[in-house]
Amino acid sequence: MSRTTLQKSKSILIHFFSGTGNTAYVVNSLKKELENRSIVVRTYFIGRDDLVSYESIDLHLFCFPIHAWSAPVNVKKYISSLSNIKDRNCAILSIGGALSISSPGFGGQAIYQVESMIRKKEGRITYTNEIYLPDNWIQFTNPPLLEEVEKLFSKANESILEVAESILNEEPHFFKVSRFHILWSAMISSLYGWIGRRALGKLFIADDNCGACGICVKNCPSNSISLKGISRQFPQWDFNCLGCNRCINLCPDKAIQMSYGRAILGILTFMSLFYFLHPMISSIVPFFPQPKSMIYQTIINYTIGIFIIAVFHILYYTLFDKILGYLQQIQPFRKFFLFNWTNSFRRYRVKGIRLGKSNSKH
């Protein structure tokens, strides 16, 4: 079969997830470029669309945003659930966040992690790459100004064309990161996946500009938001937040903020528990005798530290959460919980992209 015939008969399925539209924009643009070259392209928005048939698929492309040097939790769960990519050609395209054209983001071990998951499913990796678009991690950074956004999209459009050409011509490309960067980013992303995204999700709070419209509830990909309240309904977040930042960026009232007051209380509570529990455990638990070596002492200290962290999270996600959730609705405590600087930050999303389960575009 000639290359021309192969190209015209090629079929691609793009599996993807998008929080605020960056990844969806790349997927839509790439789909258009490939279809203009007579490639049949189907897309599957993870968690939103109905599953599609895998028959006659020549290439599976997995496209996702980078969350703390990792693929989003729902993307990893989806890939883990796949049972029919054995001996199939697979490509990976991750979308990172950048604050400016001169300071692109860094994906760490994200691609390598997904690549490893696909290889365990006995899929064949034929292409891996990264593209960068405007950062949306508003908990910590202010999204780029419009001028930088336009530059980043211009650069991304060039990269999308290069990806399309590589796929069209079956040119192998493998994104490379040093082992050192893979190691440290893997450790941090693991902590983020288990603890960080949940803790940060609990720091979301709706200020008094909230109109209880329910857009955040309807568009949450993990169904982590519900409207609750004592005298007035406000969005409340549970412990399954993905960290996609869709809610804070989609809110039409710009009412969703980060509660730095709650963060301060969490840190103080942890420090208090550590100060109280560490000497108590060391003195009353027979399992921990007086250490005779520095290594033994280090192991004991780490064991105690892990135990205290576990106790803290059990309390934080149960008793403390109910108490703090109640207090943040009552004046004057509410003013403390609403302490933030995200209300001065810009919001970011790609307009015209359908993200949530509703049919509306935001």
Q: What does the pLDDT look like over 200-235, one tens digit per residue?
A: 999 999 999 999 999 999 999 999 999 998 888 999
| Reported confidence tier of residue 241, pLDDT bands at 50, 70, 90 | very high
How much is the pLDDT for 323?
87
Residue 1, pLDDT > 50, answer: no
What does the pLDDT look like over 104-140, one tens digit per residue? 788 999 999 999 999 999 999 999 999 999 999 998 8
pLDDT at 289 over 60: no
Q: Say if residue 69's pLDDT is above 60.
A: yes
Q: Where are the domains of the chain?
A: 3-188, 261-325
Residue 209 has what pLDDT?
A: 96
Average pLDDT of the segment spanning 288-310: 68
pLDDT (average), residues 288-296: 61
SS3 of the chain: the string is CCHHHHHHHCEEEEEECCCCCHHHHHHHHHHHHHHCCCCEEEEEECCCCCCCCCCCCCEEEEEEECCCCCCCHHHHHHHHHCCCCCCCEEEEEEEEEECECCECCCCCCHHHHHHHHHHHCCCEEEEEEEEEEECCCCCCCCCCCHHHHHHHHHHHHHHHHHHHHHHHCCCCECCCCCHHHHHHHHHHHHHHHHHHHHHHHCCEEECCCCCCCCHHHHHCCCCCEEEECCCCCEEEECCCCCCCCHHHHHCCCCCEEECHHHHHHHHHHHHHHHHHHHHHHHHHCCCCCCCCCHHHHHHHHHHHHHHHHHHHHHHHCCHHHHHHHHHCCCCCHHHHHCCCCHHHCCCCCCCCCCCCCCCCCC
CB atoms within 10 A of CB 324: 19
User: Was domain 3-188 assigned CATH 3.40.50.360?
Assistant: yes
Mean pLDDT of all residues in 171-184: 92
Of the chain, the percentage scoring pLDDT greater than 90 comes to 65
